[in-house]
Amino acid sequence: MRRTTLPHPRVLLPLIAVLVLCVPRPSRAAEDPHARYAPPAPRGAEVITPAATARLKRGAAALWIYFTDKGETDARTFARSVHEAGGRVTDRARSRRAREMQGRFVPDYYDVPVSPRYLDAVRSTGATVRHSSRWLNAVSVEADAAGAKRIATLPFVRSIEPIAYSKRVAPVGPVTPVAPGFAPTPAPERGMAPGTPEERELGQAPALGPPAGYGASITQLNGINAKAAQDSGYTAAGVLVAMLDTGFNKAHNATIQLKRIAEYDFVFHDGETANQGNDALGAWDHGTGTWSVLGGYYSGNLIGPAYNASFLLAKTEDVRTETPVEEDNWLAAVEWADSIGADVISSSLAYFAFDNPADSHTYGQLDGRTTTVTKAAALAARRGIVVANAMANSGPAVGSLQAPADADSILSTGAVDANDVIAPFSSRGPTADGRGKPEIVAQGVNTIWAVAANATQVTGVDGTSLATPLIGGAAAQVREAHPEWTVQQLRYALKVTADKAGAPDSTTYGWGRANVVAAIYSSPLGGPVYPKPFDLAFPVNGGTITTPPFLFRWRRTVDPNGDAVTYRIKILKAPSDSSVFDATTTDTTITFPGYLGPSTTYRWYVSASDPASHGRESRERFTFVTSSTTGVVLSPPASGVVLYPNRPNPVQSSTLIPFAIAASSPNGMTLVTLRIYDTAGHLVRTLLENEPTAVPLARFEAWDGRDKKGRRVSSGIYYYRLTAAGKDLSRRMVVLR
């Protein structure tokens, strides 16, 4: 993991030296020792650490049980475990991780879950299991002293340590009520996408359009130039943001239209993050407020930087009593967000001083590698997640930051007022090992947030917990603009374009107040600026189409450099997502020339590319269904086998090959083979190979214009050949690139 060292408070480096220190380097994730097999970690001399013993003297306690290994016995079983774990990583998380590893996803030890056998053994001691952490190779439990001693006898237990506590970074000072502007009729709640988190797709709902007004929130947005970035087309569509907080009112006017992909309550262990019967009345206040600052959409009152993002909601803090929440809820939520594929995490929790001094961290532990939450935050960043976390409200003393703000590779966030003056309460750096903190600041004084208890009210609040979601939203906007950047490149772009980048400090402002537009367009990283985000238009999401010609239409985009844009439309048959149509055009409409089966579900989306092939996918992926008849019905023949002309012909990118077979077999089955050949008789591609098929049938098989190695074939004449029910038929087609 790369470490960026900012100047000590007493040492100011010239700008050029700071830039050299800050230039992002490739991720070192592939060098991690956990990527290869290592012998089990040794057991400590005292399995129950002195800190755990002290905690247990006060009664039953929340403890971490760390294991020596994950059940593997040698390099072969290790490799098998890693391979199996890699197969469970979602496509979205896989793509995000591949970006951090220069285009290649490599599963590692952190993907392997804790051994079920070890968990069962811990439960057998009478301990109550809270959360299991694959990253730490540990399990959190509640146990008394006798139970801890029984756990310590298990040979695969490396150590037993107390769980640290935390409190949210609560608002400071009085709140300033803000009268609502116009209160629009709440839109129907978008709610959760159907299916499991792994099955949900981003972009299924139409993007929210530009708001009619911003109300008092315009000041906090203009402070980081987020409004101008929105005007430029960047509202975080397609970006997945995880909010970690106290709970969320999803029916507030500022949040009701926001898109939720998944939610989980890590306090009550269920799928509801709103207030529940056992909650304190104001449990959801803080979470609703921070979510609205990042992504709120309440025209005339409150708009967040990233209102078109998709959200994961994690309730991690129990506010029923003054007892601080345990760190394992936070860690479990981070691992959950990683597993679904989060791009950004915004968290306003901090860990340092607690009700009992014996539970508190020391400043010396804020070194970027000691506390559990700090290690988790840094590991999330290494796995491709931009983490924004509050510095805390313990300023103005030097070194008053709280974990996990000491983590390397994240955006630790301080608070300024509307005039860019640091707030007295904003915690200060540096870390115990001399790294500058915060990285960045945003408005955290009189910042407008949603009042959870009143669906129409917003108010002004102070705290670094309000500055943090502004930076989380800014990061989501930059991520939409630059999907190719690594976490380190994105952080670098935000830092080096902030207003104090010429003379950053290591205690107060860091690199200063962010400038989203400058980060997108003007950072020294250079590189491509992709075509601007755009929307699909017709057929509408969830719509039905009936008769040909089948017209598809989308909104126009532009390339910031003024270059011409080429669109590529893809139509996929659900649920297999097999290709039906793949074509390019310079227009914003296209007519599908082939067949669409009756009563069938399809997905479609469009990508826009500049001349250098920098692609921007549409904000949405729409789904549509066909009616019971689509006007072009292919019926089985009375007898024999029929091979029809492919559509379209000539082929530019893909084509459909129709064929039909009569009921010619006594058992109602036949074997079907369909191959593509060139004019020399060489096999180009096998589409079907002796596939057992029920007859009678009439179907269309798609060919994407590629050979068996996945390469696009060149222009020319090709033949497709069908073998079925004792017949061997072929036809000619033309590929024209």
Among residues 286, 361, 482, 614, the one annotated as catalytic is 286
Q: Which of 490, 493, 494, 561 is nearest to 531 (CA)?
A: 561
Strand order across the 138-143 sheet = 128-133, 138-143, 61-67, 157-162
Cα–Cα dist 384/375, whole Å? 15
Among residues 245, 318, 359, 462, the one annotated as catalytic is 245
Cα–Cα dist 193/191, whole Å? 7
Cα–Cα dist 46/40, whole Å? 17
Run of H or E including 373: helix 372-382
Cα–Cα dist 447/289, whole Å? 10
The pLDDT value recorded for residue 523 is: 82
**29 DSSP 8-state letter:** G
Q: Which of 264, 324, 332 is nearest to 274 (CA)?
A: 264
Per-run averaged pLDDT (10 residues), the chain, 737 residues? 31 33 39 59 87 90 93 85 88 88 83 95 95 94 95 96 73 54 38 39 68 96 97 92 95 95 91 85 91 97 97 85 65 94 92 59 87 92 96 94 94 98 97 96 97 95 96 97 92 97 96 96 78 90 81 91 91 84 90 76 93 88 80 71 86 85 79 95 94 85 89 94 93 91
Burial of 186 (0-12, 13-18, 19+ CB in 10 A): middle
Which CATH entry fits the domain spanning 536-626: 3.90.1150.10, 3.40.630.10, 2.70.98.60, 2.60.40.1220? Answer: 2.60.40.1220
Tell me the whole-structure pTM to 2 decimals. 0.77
- Write the single-letter amino acid at 25: R
Homologous superfamily (CATH) for 15-25+214-521? Peptidase S8/S53 domain (3.40.50.200)
**C-alpha 104 chain-centroid distance:** 18
What is the token pair recorded at 321?
Answer: 């009593």
The domain made up of 641-735 has a fold known as Immunoglobulin-like (2.60.40)
Cα–Cα dist 114/139, whole Å? 8
Cα–Cα dist 728/605, whole Å? 36
**C-alpha 42 chain-centroid distance:** 35
Q: Annotate 557-591 with b (16+ C-beta within 10 A) or e (fewer).
A: bebbeeeebbbbbbbbbeeeeebbbbbeeeebebe
The pLDDT value recorded for residue 665 is: 64
Taking each helix axis from N to C end, the angle separating 372-382 and 327-340, rounded to the nearest 10 degrees, works out to 10
Q: Is 610 a catalytic residue?
A: no
Domain(s) labelled CATH 3.40.50.200 in the chain stretch across 15-25+214-521
Run of H or E including 590: strand 589-592
Among residues 465, 506, 523, 653, the one annotated as catalytic is 465
Question: How many C-beta neighbours within 10 Å does residue 243 have?
Answer: 30
**699 DSSP 8-state letter:** E
Run of H or E including 81: helix 75-87
Q: Is 252 a catalytic residue?
A: no
Bond prior to 598 in cis (omega within 30° of 0): no
Q: Are strands 349-350 and 165-168 parallel, antiparallel or unpaired?
A: antiparallel
Q: Annotate 111-147 with b (16+ C-beta within 10 A) or e (fewer).
A: bbbbbeebbebbeebebeebbbbbbbbbbbbebebeb
Q: Which of 589, 535, 585, 527 is nearest to 561 (CA)?
A: 527
Dihedral sign (CA 95, 305, 556, 526): negative
The answer to whether 236 and 476 are in contact (CB under 8 A) is yes
The pLDDT value recorded for residue 321 is: 52
Q: Dihedral of the CA atoms 520, 389, 268, 280 (nearest 10)?
A: -110
The end-to-end CA distance of the chain, in Å, is 45
Domain(s) labelled CATH 2.60.40.1930 in the chain stretch across 641-735
Q: Is 482 a catalytic residue?
A: no
Domain(s) labelled CATH 2.60.40.1220 in the chain stretch across 536-626
